[in-house]
Structure formats: structure tokens, C-alpha cells
Amino acid sequence: MAKITFDGIEVDVPDGTTILNAARTIGGGIVPPAMCYYTPLKGSGGKCRACLVRVAAGSAKDPRPMPKLVASCVTPVQDGMVVENTTSEQVLNVRKGIVEMLLINHPLDCPVCDQAGECDLQNFAFEHGVSTTRYEEERRTFEKIDIGPLIQLHMTRCILCYRCVFTADQLTEKRVHGVLGRGDAAEIGTYIENIIDNEFSGNVIDVCPVGALTDKTFRFKQRVWFTKPVNAHRDCENPKCCGRVVLWYKGKDVLRVTARKDQYGEVKEWICNTCRFDKKETADWTLEGPAHIDRSSVISANHYELPVLNAQVIADLPESSLRDLEQNPPMRLGN
Amino acid sequence: MGRKLLTEHINVEGIDTFEVYRKHGGYRSVEKALKTMTPDEVVEEVKKSGLRGRGGAGFPTGMKWSFLAKPEGVPRYLVCNADESEPGTFKDRQLMSKLPHLLVEGMITSSYALGANTSYIYIRGELLYVLRILEKAIAEAYAAGFLGKNILGSGYDLDLYVHPGGGAYICGEETALLESLEGKRGNPRNKPPFPAVQGLYARPTVVNNVESIAAVPVIVNDGGDEYAKIGVGRSTGTKLISACGHLNKPGIYEIELGVPVEEFIYSDEYCGGIWKGRDLKAVVAGGSSVPILPKELILKTAAGEPRLMTYESLSDGGFVTGTMLGSGGFIAMDETTCIVRNTWNFSRFYHHESCGQCSPCREGTGWLEKILHRLEHGHGNERDIDVLASVAKQIEGNTICPLGEAAAWPVSAAIRHFRDEFEWHVRYPQEATRPGAVFPGKAVLV
């Protein structure tokens, strides 16, 4: 075990734990943001630099500070390490810079993006970004890229986190996509404009932190915060698929099926394309109850419960809205 | 005349053949090391020599070797970084093409010291003709029994391969080089783990520059103490300097570390002064990635002492008044040089060569280049210079590998020392961007 001090809080973690995961054992607002790191994906992390922290003391044996900020997601803890995250002005300034860099080529099309409400970059920018940009140059844009009937690649939004590449590499036997080009001309692509076609390809949608890879069967159907997430499971015939999912309801319709995620938005168990794209009837599933969405996004922030509407407001609503409210009573998220 | 340790026989006819090289004392270090020394003793000699990595970082080679993990029954590797491609640095290709056997000899002796039975020379793909020369030298060494099984009857086996890269500057970064050597995209790895623990094929690996490895035979032959007598302080031995730019005699010079910069630029033994009798304006002393220094700071330190060609003297004063020896890519610029254009040119290179893996480098290098492009072409605005400095600072130290710093340092230093010239481009764009325009000095900005 190693004892580290993270923002003044002492915590014991097993040897080999990364600084980020040590911070996650504390939880709350001091956990560094992570755009590219994804616990179940081996080798991920270290790329977006969003989780940079200052190591004020390397270890009890060698208490010298580390000369540069380190990526907390790939740096293992040492016994006696002292880490500064929210307590370091330098770290917070760098984080502002990272948001600015990431937003250079990421369009602010949140109003029409399917990832809005679930977007890691949206949350990161809200928490650490500034309201203006100093970037005056031409931005990078891409033509629409067709990678098959199930997944939409919207390359303009991609922040090159490599998560989908790791997913494809580690989950599928027929990886056809990767990073082409380099520098700010790098892009996720298939060689040559192939379609992505394998039974676990849908998982790249779940790991994408922004709206670069979205579900074609769900696109533009609904804003995510107007849907109701419900945990469900089925006996999937695919032995690699866990069969445990979240069904996203609008009224009685299942608009989307995703894998279940933890509080940091990470999938713990992968699901196959059959569960994700083909099983969209309630009868296909055994419902378990409301899904717990413990993230600082609008999904859990906006409950849209009836009590917020006073009697006068309800009386003034048009008939169609009243009918809609009756048919689709808002569900409180969480427990 | 300074001593020449590496290039003494460089002009001997046929020195690239085994026979001639051997006649001139070649492969003595292999015989000495394998027959009379233990691997640890070779490492000890290299430590004593004080040899510092000649690729740019200047980390002590012997110390780097001693960090190599040596788990039982696990192979370890020596990889020679011959992916030289930084603008202004062109010494290794000369060394390899003229003296291929020196590198092969160094690889054998160094591999023996490290206990490596398979070693690689990772060479820049564009240097195909050098690759052929090295392959020929390796074949000759195999034929003479200096490579392969049971070298010189010592029981030591070594296989040596040359591997051409795909032509990406980033593959000169040691972990990107290892990725590339493994057949993958040349993206730098996160550190730790360091290559000494998990390098090539996840095995303990040492990555050394061509010039560092070429110095090992000299150290083994003459002893580390003798080598350490050359130079000044912790900058021991000789260093190849590739001098280019507005010099009367650009070229590759082997200098004893400690030669005054002024002597290096102006003496006839070395560069012979600035061409066309012009005045020196600025120097990039260690390859395009190190901070540029104006004439007054490159010739003298902040304390007024003569600046020497050593790791310490060149970096004296940190980046406020100093720079780095780096890889020895010495670029001199005369008084007519446009610093903004020069900085833009460097930025173009780093923008083009960024691997795009981490956000500050991927987005920042492009941003720097675009602002510099505007400034150079007369479309700059008042805010640009501060934004430029700020973006460079955002990149510096926040990236996976040093390419981010390599892109940021030249920009930061150019603004630090030549801000007036940047302001001139903003205030008088038509004048500043006129072909052949020369910055007239501070007076114009008053």
C-alpha cells in the first residue's frame, strides 16, 4: 500500500495505482478531469493532458518535486507522494489552456449534437474553460464520412483521444479504423473509407467523449435529458456480451440502448451490436429499474418534475402539452 | 588545432572498408573489451569518461547505461538512434557515411557492455544511401568474425541490424523510435516506464545517439580518464558541430568542448567568420529546437564571460540569457536575417512533424505557425505577439514528449530577444514584408 496526499487529503491505495485512480477513491470535485483515459482500455491515457497535476513531493524516499506537471492517469503513485490538483494555481491555469486547445477545432455545435448532455468536453469546458477564445485562424472541418449503417463519424468534432482506437484494437478481431495523418491533420478514419463492421463496433460510440461517433439509430431522435434511462438485461447469445444495458425511453419507446457506465462515464462491461442496435422492444428485456446517472451533466441536473409547475402554469398549458405530460410523467433519476 | 578523436581518419581513402579501417586501428576496442574487460568494467570506463549523450539532451551516457534493468533470462537491447532530422543538425549522417565501421565497432563494444545480444541501428529512412553503406560494413564485420556467434572466441554473441524509419522527425524521440521499430505508428510513449526498464518489445533497452556510440571505442581504447581530460568541467571529450547558415565555412567540425563560441565562429580553423563581411545577428546553437540567442548573448554570458562551446556555458543564465548545446546544430544568421520569417520557418517544421497524439502539441504547434504566418505576411495585429508567447508557454512542459518544447522554445526565445522586430511586423506590415526588408532597429518603433 502507498500513502499519498492529494490536495491535502491523505489516502491509502494499493501500489501501482495511478494518481487519477487514487483521487477517484476520494471522489467529488477534486478528481482531475480525463478525456482520453478509460479504465477498461489498456494503454489509454496520457494524451489529452486534461488530468495534469503537480507532484509537489515525489515520494517519502525522494521528496523532490517533479520538474513538470504529470499526467495523473498514467503516473503511478509512490509512498509519501504529495499531489496538488485543485490547490495548484499552475495546474488550473494549464487546464484552462488545455480546454482552449481542445476547443480550437471542436465546433460549439452542442445545440445540434447528439452527445450534448453526455459530453465530457462540454463538462470539462464548463468546469475549467473560459468564455472566450483567442483563436482567430481557420478551423479544421471535414466532409461527412460514411463508416457504415450503424455509426456516424463526425470527424470535425473528434479530439483525437484514441479511445475508439483502443476499443477497436482490444475488443474486436477485425479492426478497420485507426489514426491517419499526424499533427492537427490527424484524423480517425478507415483505410480506405471502409465501413466498420464487427459485432462489438458499437462500443466505440460509448467510449467517445464527444459527439464524433454517434449512434445512427438514435441521431436527432431526442435530447438525452428528455429521455428516461432504465437498467435492463437479457440473456445474450453472444458469450462476450454481458447483456446488461441501459434502455433510454421516451414514453414507451426505447430510443437507444447503451452499455452501463459508472460515475466517471466509463463502461464496465461491453455489449454487442445485437443488444445495442437490434433489441429495442421492452419485451426483449428484463427491466431492473431507473438507472443511476451520477454525473454533473444535465441528465441528472434537470429532473423536469411536475412540482416545478404550479397550478396556474399547468392550467395555462396547451392541451397537447397536458396530454404529453400525462402520458410521459417525468421520472426522477437516481435512487 | 584541437584533437580529433572520431574524425581523425575520416579523409583516409577507403576508410569505409573493413581492411583500411582495421589498418588504422579499427576494432581494437572490441578486442580489448571482449578479451580483457568485463562488461561492468566497460560501463565503468564510460562513466569515468564523463561522456554525455550527443543527441541533444546531454544526459551522462555511463549513468544511463547503469540504469538498465538486468532481470535474469530476459533479453535486453541496444538501439542506436540514427534518425537525425532536426533542421541544422547533420553530423551523424556524415559520420555514418564516411566512417561506418566506427559506428559498428561502437555498437559491438557498447552491446557487450550492456549484455545485449541483438542490437539495432534505427536510421532515418531518407538516408537510404547511408543504410547501404552501413549494411556493407556490417556484412564485412560478420565476415571478419566481429559479429555473429562467439565473437573472437569470447563466447559473446551479437546480431546487428539496420532498420530504416519512415521519415518522421518524431521517430527520433526515443520511445517513438521504439514504437516504430516494433512496427507501429511512431507515437511517443508515456514515461514511466522508461526504456531502461521497458523498452523495445517491453524489454530493458538503451537508446543512444550515433555520436555517443562512436565515442565508446575511443574511450575503451584510451581509458575513460584520458577522455575526461579533454574538455571543460562536466563537458568532456570532443563534439561534432554541424555549422550552417551565413558562415564563410559551413561544415562539420569536431571540436574539443570548451572552444569559445567567438573563436568557433570567427577563427579560420573553424567557420571563418560571417559571409560577405556582414555582422552576426543571432545564433541557434544546438539545432532548431533550442532557443535562439542574439549576438551579444551568444558571444558572452550574462556575467560578461566569454561563452564557451560546452553544455554548461551555453546554458548559463537559463533561457533568459542562455540556450543549449543540444545536438550541435549551429545555425548562424547575419544582420539581414528576418527573425520573424526564421521563427515561422521553424514553426512550420514542428507543426508538420507533430505526431498529433497530445492536445497541446497537436493544436498548439498549428496555432503558433498560423499566427507566425500572418505576422510574416503582414496580417498581424497588436494582440498576436502576446498570444504567441502565451500559446508557446501553454505547450511547454505539458506534452508527452519534448517535441512540444522543441516547437515552443524557438518561439518564446525569438519574442524574448527580438520582440521589437515582431512589433515592427505588426506596426509597419508593408515595410516589414517587403522582399529583402531588413529590420532597421528600435528607433523606428519610437
Partners of B387 on chain A (C-beta within 8 Å) are: 134
Q: Is A13 on the interface with B (CB under 8 A)?
A: no
pLDDT digits (tens, 9 = 90+) for A44-68: 999 999 999 999 999 999 999 999 9
Are A134 and A100 in contact by the 8 Å Cβ rule? The answer is yes
Cell of A299: 441528465
Please judge whether B359 and A98 are an interchain contact, meaning their C-beta atoms are less than 8 angstroms apart: yes
pLDDT digits (tens, 9 = 90+) for B262-310: 999 999 999 999 999 999 999 999 999 999 999 999 999 988 899 999 9
* Pairwise CA distance, residues A36 & A163, whole Å: 6
pLDDT digits (tens, 9 = 90+) for B161-181: 999 998 899 999 999 999 999
Cell of A250: 421516451
pLDDT digits (tens, 9 = 90+) for B394-423: 999 999 999 999 999 999 999 999 999 999
ipTM of model = 0.90
Weakly modelled stretches of chain A, pLDDT under 70: 294-314, 325, 327-335
Nearest to B56 by CA among B265, B209, B255: B209
Please judge whether B398 and A160 are an interchain contact, meaning their C-beta atoms are less than 8 angstroms apart: no
Please judge whether B370 and A45 are an interchain contact, meaning their C-beta atoms are less than 8 angstroms apart: no
* Pairwise CA distance, residues A292 & B143, whole Å: 71
Give pLDDT, residue A315: 72
SS3 state of residue A139: coil
Partners of A130 on chain B (C-beta within 8 Å) are: none
Please judge whether B362 and A134 are an interchain contact, meaning their C-beta atoms are less than 8 angstroms apart: no
Please judge whether B400 and A97 are an interchain contact, meaning their C-beta atoms are less than 8 angstroms apart: no
Q: How far is A1 from chain B (nearest CA, A)?
A: 19
Please judge whether A134 and B387 are an interchain contact, meaning their C-beta atoms are less than 8 angstroms apart: yes
Per-residue pLDDT of chain B (446 residues; tens, 9 = 90+): 688 999 999 999 999 999 999 999 999 999 999 999 999 999 999 999 999 999 988 999 999 999 999 998 999 999 999 999 999 999 999 999 999 999 999 999 999 999 999 999 999 999 999 999 999 999 999 999 999 999 999 999 999 999 999 889 999 999 999 999 999 999 999 998 999 999 999 999 999 999 999 999 999 999 999 999 999 999 999 999 999 999 999 999 999 999 999 999 999 999 999 999 999 999 999 999 999 999 999 999 988 899 999 999 999 988 999 999 999 999 999 999 999 999 999 999 999 999 999 999 999 999 999 999 999 999 999 899 999 999 999 999 999 999 999 999 999 999 999 999 999 999 999 999 988 889 988 666 65
Partners of A138 on chain B (C-beta within 8 Å) are: 370
Q: How far is A288 from chain B (nearest CA, A)?
A: 40
Partners of B348 on chain A (C-beta within 8 Å) are: none
